[in-house]
Amino acid sequence: QVQLVESGGGLVQVGGSLRLSCTVSGRTFTSFAMGWFRRAPGKEREFVATITRSGGSKYYADSVKGRFTISRDNAKNTVYLQMNSLKPEDTAVYYCAADSGLFDSSNWKESKYDYWGQGTQVTVSS
């Protein structure tokens, strides 16, 4: 059984930083491309970032480009989301997700992902 467990969320001030982690178990980590999504209060879940199996390619939503960095450590079965220069509009529940299919131009879509974590709350206060 594949499990994804996120950690690292919390309360941070505007301009601050947080690093989210997501550890995967139950299947070979390198069989997954990984993604981060978020759901802000009253909004639908949206794409944040995605990374290929090797970590060689990364893609970001325009809203976080230049501020967030996705990375992975295949030896630790973990994907990270480093979030810098945080804004109040970054407040959301953040979810990691695993895609066992072929990485392609649709990896920003929720439907591409087979497994999801439970989410971790990030609150940015002004």
Residue 22 confidence (pLDDT) above 90: yes
Handedness of CA 95, 83, 81, 5 (dihedral sign): negative
Question: What is the reported pLDDT for 101?
Answer: 92
Residue 12 confidence (pLDDT) above 90: yes
Report percent pLDDT > 70 for the chain.
100
- Cβ–Cβ < 8 Å for 87, 12: no
Question: What is the reported pLDDT for 94?
Answer: 98
The residues near 55 (Cβ < 8 Å, ≥ 6 apart) are: 71, 72, 74
Question: What value does the mean pLDDT take over residues 29-53?
Answer: 97
Question: What value does the mean pLDDT take over residues 40-57?
Answer: 96
